[in-house]
């Protein structure tokens, strides 16, 4: 079992993500540089947060053309597990691995704070160690986290149980007040059709240790490890 953490110019959560996998999950992990097409035989790819290529043009717009992303697209098409966090979610949408787009936050302000997420499905390699309806306390830190898609895509996400997380109140209620950035349908994370790619704006890498205010995010990494162990 081997994890790969992508590194783009401007990535700033790559070391956080590496730390969680290596020091908390105790799994082999390597950094994968953006201009190399090799995924070094990794079994799961993690696309971390940050500001890939300085977010020039728009978030993720340049990163999608990196040699490593062409390999990630092939890896995902073959069923490989891919997790995109914050900027990683934006990159996966730009690369066509997930539908929709991340727009500027409602209010046009950068937001960095703890939020609550309701787990909408346990039927994925990223949420299998959780229960449907379980509420997680996980921080966000973004300017473009406002998820948007067309009505047909939204219907498809709902109908096929592909909404992984929604912003919620601490008791799990889905309300406009619990939505920090204006995301459509309070969406905080989605799955692709094959359920092997997850993109989410909140940071499980920043919430895997109690020292950071919450360890709830570690359930996502624990689910990934479990899924890979079952495949081995």
Question: Does the structure show a pLDDT above 80 at 232?
Answer: no
- Note the pLDDT of residue 58: 82
The 10s digit of each residue's pLDDT in 145-171 is 999 999 999 999 999 999 999 999 999
Which burial class, exposed, middle or buried, applies to 106 when counting CB atoms under 10 A from its CB (0-12, 13-18, 19+)?
middle
Query: pLDDT band for position 55 (50/70/90)?
Result: confident
**What mean pLDDT is reported for the chain?**
96
- Note the pLDDT of residue 18: 98
- What is the CATH number for 166? 3.40.50.880
Distance of CA 42 to the CA centre of its chain: 18
Which positions ≥6 away from 210 have C-beta within 8 Å? none
- Note the pLDDT of residue 54: 85
Hey, is 117 helix, strand or coil?
Answer: strand
The 10s digit of each residue's pLDDT in 189-231 is 999 999 999 999 999 999 999 999 999 999 999 999 999 999 8
Over residues 80-84, mean pLDDT:
98
89 and 45 Cβ atoms separated by less than 8 Å: no
DSSP 158-175: HHTT-EEEEEE-TTS---
Tell me which DSSP letter residue 203 carries.
-
**Rg from Cα positions in the chain:** 16
The 10s digit of each residue's pLDDT in 109-125 is 999 999 999 999 999 99
**Whole-number Å distance between alpha carbons of 63 and 68:** 9
- Note the pLDDT of residue 170: 98
Question: Does the structure show a pLDDT above 90 at 17?
Answer: yes
Question: Does the structure show a pLDDT above 80 at 65?
Answer: yes
The whole domain housing 77 covers 3-231
The total number of structural domains in the chain stands at: 1
């Amino acid at each position: 079992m081997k994890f790969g953490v992508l590194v783009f110019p401007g990535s700033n959560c790559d070391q956080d993500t590496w730390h969680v996998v290596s020091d908390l999950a105790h799994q082999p992990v390597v950094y994968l540089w953006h201009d190399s097409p090799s995924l070094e035989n990794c079994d799961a790819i993690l696309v971390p947060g940050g500001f890939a290529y300085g977010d020039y043009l728009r978030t993720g717009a340049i990163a999608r053309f990196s040699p490593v992303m062409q390999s990630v697209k092939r890896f995902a098409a073959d069923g490989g597990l891919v997790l995109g966090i914050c900027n990683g979610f934006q990159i996966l949408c730009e690369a066509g691995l997930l539908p929709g787009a991340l727009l500027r936050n409602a209010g046009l302000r950068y937001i960095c704070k703890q939020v609550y997420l309701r787990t909408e499905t346990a039927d994925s390699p990223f949420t299998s160690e959780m229960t449907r309806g379980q509420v997680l306390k996980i921080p966000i830190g973004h300017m473009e986290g406002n998820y948007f898609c067309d009505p047909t895509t939204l219907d498809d996400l709902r109908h096929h149980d592909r909404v992984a997380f929604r912003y919620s109140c601490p008791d799990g209620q889905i309300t406009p007040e619990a939505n920090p950035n204006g995301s459509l349908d309070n969406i905080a994370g989605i799955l692709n059709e094959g359920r092997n790619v997850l993109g989410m704006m909140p940071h499980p890498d920043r919430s895997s240790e109690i020292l950071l205010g919450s360890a709830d995010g570690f359930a996502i990494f624990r689910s990934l490890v479990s899924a890979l162990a079952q495949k081995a």
